[in-house]
Structure 1
Amino acid sequence: MLSIHVIIVTYNAMKWAERCFTSLRQSSVPLQCIVVDNGSSDGTQDYIKKHFPEVHFIQSGQNLGFGKANNTGIEAAYQKGADFFYLMNQDAWLYEDSIEKLLEIYHDHPHQEEVGIISPVHVDGTEKKLDIFLDKYIAHNWEKTRLISDLYFQTLKPYYEISFVNAAHWLLPKKTIETVGGFNPYFFHYGEDNEYVNRLHFHKKKVILAPGSKVVHDGKQFLDKVDYTRYKDLTLETKIMNPNLPDALKLEKKALIQSIFKNSALGKLSVSKQLMEKYKKISGEADILNKIKAEVSQEGPTFLKI
């Protein structure tokens, strides 16, 4: 029997805990669950231990952030012999056949070695609309997939290859972990899934959306949800570390210099100052960013101790 491990990172998850973990019990496919708690203060730990004792609970000594905590869970699941790793947000839950449908897509795929991530369709917390971010990802791939047309004419295919889907619900075959590795610890929260998918594509693996599988992600339903006063905007750093872009550091520094001069000429001195700070930051971190880029370019369980 296949060993499927669900990995959930928690941080004050009481709002969703009952529905989230009950849905795992009700899955038509047997699931094992690993929780890595990042220091909840709302009783999440005691609630899970009391009401869901089957969960393998790992208490982090500090808030590791999303990616590093997931890596801890992935390492634990790998040591337990997982065949598939299902990364799921705390504000999410499954339907009874969600995982079963994803596994069918994997087993029926003509080139399983190319499958990197399989994602179900995310609906929002009302369960009456698609998650707004899935709307965005589908729209970005309109020319490649024609998925919107297929939805309208009710001619959906079993699966579609898309460029990206966020990590609220990811099914990863074991080979993905062994080839691409875990999340990049350069990121604390937000952006780590973008960087991971860049590496996935570099290693010739695909992101697959399975319309026949449905799940819930009760996340915020507006596209600018990231508060950059709390979390760093690492868009440029993500490009520089992208192994698909060999000259990214040089090109981004050049573009920043051009923008600094342009905004200075226009009298936008505050913008110029911000751009200069970013230029100094990436220049100062050039060796680190290039080292990470070289590391993620190699096939293997990068950032994981397995």
Structure 2
Amino acid sequence: MKKIVYALIIIGFAWSCKDADQTDGTLKVVTTTTMITDLVENIGGEYIEVKGLMGSGVDPHLYKASEGDVNKLAHAHVIFYGGLHLEGKLVEVFEKMASQNLKTIPVSDALDEKTLIGSEFFASNYDPHIWFDVNNWELITQFVVDKLSEAKPEHKAAFEKNGLEYMAKLKTLNENIKNTISTLPAEKRILVTAHDAFSYFGQAYGFEVVGLQGLSTATEAGVQDVQKLATFIIDKQVKAIFIESSVPKRTIEALQAAVQSKGFDVQIGGTLYSDALGNAGTVEGTYIGMFTYNVNTIVNALK
């Protein structure tokens, strides 16, 4: 069945690329995660048609392509995905396409490998949650500008203009994040979440970050993991821990219960957006809105 899916995608994709070369029509772009969809829409504007595979609250680590996704992929001119094995179940499909010289682009290629956070516990050996450092997202913005300009050179000026405007907003976001975090004492900057999605955030903004699960939500947390982290929370006097929108809340609730059973009252500080943005049409449904919301939620709960 997989071979049939690969063949359908590759045949359809090759035909759509040929068609794109022969017309001046709108560039058809497919994206995976909501973060990438938001970025590509900001840069491409009216000159591209973007179809995202994943919606709000969707876990990319466990996502499987549907029949509708196969149709979207087959008719795309360009596909942007995260890379670094973020989209675990789709990796084989994208690698198969790339081997046929089809336009599948991992946005992680924008970053120097030396700046990536490694992990001995994850298949790619690198943490794929690269969007949680705004500096990374600025580099990825320019990368997407360049790739869209290659695909549609007649609109290069528009893509570059949109890219510069968006990067200016990212710089403002970065300053606002730092200002908000500066109100939280350094000793309180300990972030405990459902899985290890926030290491780039911790590295960029001075937080100690601990996840109950590993980098991929496919990794299950055991009883020993819960007890070990419960002890850490008590030792560090962590005031609040956080649910993630794309991860079942039962894992953090189990951690809270384990801590409270030891006589320490830790609160659930709120829900953070990790592997997906909020609902489309809301402030949190944008990368900038999501990041602002997350930082405000973290700082307010840990103060």
Indicate the structure with greater strand content. Answer: 1
Higher normalized contact order (CA 8 Å, seq sep 6+, divided by chain length): 1
| TM-score where L is the length of structure 1 | 0.29
Indicate the structure with greater helix content. Answer: 2
